[in-house]
Chain A
């Protein structure tokens, strides 16, 4: 019979302590896990199952229809329009929004007088309620009485039907959305810029690098993780756009601002077709997962 040595009993004691600690940790985590399980994972699983059914909220019964809902997505012209609009919206808001945010962050990173006031001003749209902002923008875009057309008329630009002309309506929503998210992205970039040690710039200066070269060879590579973060979060948020479309255009005119989430909302809550709406949601999830993976891969740092 093996007699426990001092060392083995210490290991056992440590193991028992570890188990006790782990158990306490998991018990403490359980409410959160339960919360997520009930309110996130269970509905997610349920809606995935629903996406293979013809469930209409008005009807008591539903049946499994295989991948018919997903097949229907491919032939649904309105949904195709929503997907196209969502892509145009996302590429524009993420592309222009990220570039503008980076540009502004660079400006505000300099020692300029009152930079904190500018930061505050740029951040106001982020903390403003979306619906209130959308209503204000609706007025700004008013073709006959709106401020934007008035200002444009001063430089000889003819009246534009921002929200009623399908040529301009999506652009109008994009502009509003960029305005709304600019402050947040700018702050993230600003935090990233503050984290770059000054010594790199000093070294570049010694090597004779000008401002642009310092940006390209020092700032940009070191901001890469921050940029990836901004792009990924902005893309996810852009694909989920709904509020401003719902308030400002209701998806029109002629479906020119109809986006995926608006389509999901209409299908689920106006037409009560929950099965089909669920398949739309999973289609959106698929797009987002794919895009996020691609962005993460593209952003893998070589430094």
Chain B
């Protein structure tokens, strides 16, 4: 055999082996529709029917920022469940990674037939999973429980598909409200937390501090100017909603972000930097870091920051309040994770029973309190821990939206955020920016 032929043969053999090694997508087995035991009481730990055969349920959970606390808590809870249900083995797969990587891993696992039975997801991603047939719809009893317990419309919408069916149980989530520095309020003679745009502007001006060179050392109100464009959109949204803006028309056929209400909201937001000068591009960079270090007096953020302040800056005196209103009540965008059961799950009944136990008021209360999470269920919110907590109460009263359901919601939010950012940098007027945003969102709306 010639040398070149031998080499060619070796390469070909390698390529053939490589091709053989390539994973081929396994067909997704379609499980029978689940049936859950009939007598689950929604306000107590439900008695779960014990499976006759040993059952293993694989649960993948994205760990977020509280990795260690979450892992310890979930392991404890799962052990407790297994103690009560000796035939059930919960195989916990905590995933510590960026959310995008978590979703990519899930997708690859699910497509190759090695996915979990249960996993956590969020927003438009749940919708994509649901619409590509990866998820089971919730049994009637689960649906009734969630409908009864959901704290508000946003919580309920977070697990509902465009077909009106429910695909999971709300897991953890939050939405924003106003944070303010109490000491700075006192020093600036502010006695009332702002409830309108005018009051917010007035308070922000009083709270803003500049050095001898005119640099802002304390931003009276932090305007999100950089970072992920989705985040820029979400921080502007409370103003948009307060102005009475709607992202889409009623039939969701056209983007209306460029309505007069939208333009008014963006003009106000841009003016906070360029006219009122209560924040600047050269002022504090990070909102939460800035709030901790005293470079930010007020900002709109999610409740999960409360624990962060208590841990990282115990001496920081801060309060929380509703988002200031304008023509209507200001609402934030809610980010709510849900926990779902995959269609590939071999024991759907056992999986839903486990989730019902995990979401029961008693367990959900223990879970949310341990992680200091904002409750998503009515019964949990009535726990004295939350009822008497003046920091968390505004979040429970605060209205929130989820972005209208669409598989391209992420791209849409990013597109609007991109143009809000351009307006903030004065690369476009608010009207021009929102017109462009509406065009891009309309294109995404048509693209399924």
Binding site for B on A (CB under 8 A): 19, 22-23, 26, 29-30, 33-34, 36-38, 41-42, 46, 57-60, 142-145, 149, 153, 158-161, 163-166, 249-250, 252-255, 269-272
Contacts and interface: CB of A to CB of B under 8 A. Distances in A.
A253 B421 contact: yes
B340 interface: no
Given A142-B285, A269-B100, A34 B17 contact: yes
A30 B226 contact: no
Nearest to A32: B14
A22 B410 contact: no
Closest 4 pairs (CB-CB, A-B): A37-B14, A161-B281, A159-B282, A42-B18
B227 interface: yes
B15 A37 contact: yes
Given A33-B10, A254-B421, A249 B226 contact: yes
A269 B105 CA distance: 10
B18 A37 contact: yes
Contacts of A143: 281-285
Given A42-B21, A161-B281, A254-B427, 11 more contacts: A41-B15, A142-B285, A143-B284, A144-B282, A144-B283, A144-B284, A158-B282, A159-B282, A164-B225, A252-B228, A271-B410
A245 B25 CA distance: 34
Contacts of A163: 226, 285
B91 interface: no
B19 interface: yes
Contacts of A30: 10, 13-14
Contact of A33 (B11, B19, B132, B217): B11
A46 B21 CA distance: 13
B7 interface: yes
B104 A57 contact: yes
B293 A145 contact: yes
Nearest to B228: A250
A253 B285 CA distance: 12
27 contacts: A22-B3, A22-B6, A26-B6, A26-B7, A30-B14, A33-B11, A38-B18, A41-B15, A57-B104, A57-B107, A59-B132, A143-B284, A143-B285, A144-B217, A144-B285, A145-B284, A145-B293, A159-B282, A164-B225, A164-B281, A164-B282, A250-B226, A250-B227, A252-B229, A253-B421, A253-B425, A272-B104
B418 interface: yes
Contacts of B3: 22
A71 to B, nearest CB: 16
Contacts of B284: 143-145
A38 B100 contact: no
B411 A271 contact: yes
B206 interface: no
B132 A165 contact: no
A42 B11 CA distance: 12
Given A143-B282, A143-B283, A252-B229, A270 B18 contact: no
B15 A42 contact: yes
B107 A164 contact: no
Interface in B1-30: 1, 3, 6-7, 10-11, 13-15, 17-19, 21-22, 25, 28
Nearest to B25: A60
Given A34-B17, A253-B226, A269-B104, A165 B283 contact: no
Nearest to A46: B22
B87 interface: no
B274 interface: no
Instruction: Kindly name the residue among A23, A59, A270, A271 whose own CB sees the greatest number of chain B CB atoms within 10 A.
Output: A270
A254 B425 contact: yes
A142 B285 CA distance: 7
Contacts of A46: 22
Contacts of B228: 250, 252
A254 B14 contact: no
Nearest to B11: A33
Nearest to B415: A78
Contact of B11 (A22, A37, A60, A165): A37
Contacts of A271: 410-411
B207 to A, nearest CB: 15
A203 B447 CA distance: 72
Contacts of A33: 10-11, 14
B422 interface: yes
